[in-house]
Amino acid sequence: MLKVTQLSYQHQRDTLLSDITFDLLAGELLVVLGPNGAGKSTLLKCCAGTLKPSQGSIHLNNTTLEQWPLNELAQSRAVLTQQLSIPFALRVHEVVSLGLSPWSLTIKEQDKAITDVLNMVGMAHFSDRVFNSLSGGEQQRVQLARVLVQLLAHGEQDLTGKLLFLDEPISALDLQQQQIVMRLLKTMTERGMSIFCVLHDLNLATLYADTLLIIERGETVYYATPSKMHHTSVVENTYKADLIQIDHSEKPLPQWQFRH
C-alpha cells in the first residue's frame, strides 16, 4: 500500500527526518508517536505529498508519489491536517461537500454520502449549522467527516487501496468522542482502509494501533506492534517523563501512568 524507504528530509541546513523506513499495509492502522518537534507532522507531509523528501522514496500502490495524477491521488488518499479554521461562514454540509470535489456525483448521491459520514461522526444534526459557530471539538469532527467522505464517496464496503492521513484528529475531543473516533477508525481499517495517524495519547495509541512508529529528533526509535513494548523503557527514554508502565486490565497491552 504505502511503502516508505530510507526517507530523509532537510530544511535549509536542519535535518528534520533521517532514514525512516516503514510499510503501511491494507487494513492497517499505523500510529505515529513522538515528543513535540520530533518530526511527526513533517513525516506526514512528506508521505502525503506536500513536502518533497531530500532522499529516499515513497511508493503508493507500487507507483512513486510524484507519478500520481493529482485528481486520482485525491480519490484514493485523504489528509486531515491540524488547520481547521475557515475564514467565511460556510455551513457544515457545505464544508463536508468540499471533500467530494475529486468526484463527479449527482446531487442525490452527494447528499447521501454527506449524511452518511456526518452520521458516522455524530454530527448529522448540525448539518445546517455555520461551521465557525461550532466548538473546536465539533469542528474537528466535521473536518474528519470531510476527509472520510473523500474516500467513501460511493459508499463502498471494500476500502482496500484507500489511504487516510490524520494529524492529531482527536486533540480537541472529549473522552467519549475520542473513543468514538478511534473505534470508527478501527471499523474503517476492518473494511480495508489504511490509516496513518499522528497521536499524542500513548494509551489510546497502544490500545487501537496495529503498529506503532515512534520517532525522536527525526529518527525511528521504535517500529513494531504495541504489545512488543511490554517491559521495555522505550517510552520513558523517548519522552524523558517519569512514568509507570502497567498492564491494561482487559488486553495484554502496556499502558502508562504518571508517577506522583
Binding residues for another protein, rule: CB under 8 A, are 48-50, 70-71, 73-75, 77-79, 81, 83, 86-91, 94-95, 98-99, 101-102, 150
Shortest gap between Cβ of 89 and another protein (angstroms)?
A: 5
Choice between 75 and 245, CB closer to another protein: 75
Choice between 87 and 252, CB closer to another protein: 87
Choice between 46 and 234, CB closer to another protein: 46
CB atoms within 10 A of CB 139: 20
Choice between 67 and 83, CB closer to another protein: 83
Choice between 143 and 255, CB closer to another protein: 143
Residue with cell 475557515: 86
Q: What is the DSSP string of 22-61?
A: EEE-TT-EEEEE-STTSSHHHHHHHHHTSSPPSEEEEEET
From CA 234, how far away is CA 231, in angstroms rounded? 9
* Residue 248, all three cell numbers: 491494561
* Residue 98, all three cell numbers: 468540499
Shortest gap between Cβ of 257 and another protein (angstroms)?
A: 37
Shortest gap between Cβ of 195 and another protein (angstroms)?
A: 15
Shortest gap between Cβ of 110 and another protein (angstroms)?
A: 12
Radius of gyration of the chain (CA): 19
From CA 89, how far away is CA 82, in angstroms rounded? 19
From CA 90, how far away is CA 96, in angstroms rounded? 10
Shortest gap between Cβ of 246 and another protein (angstroms)?
A: 39
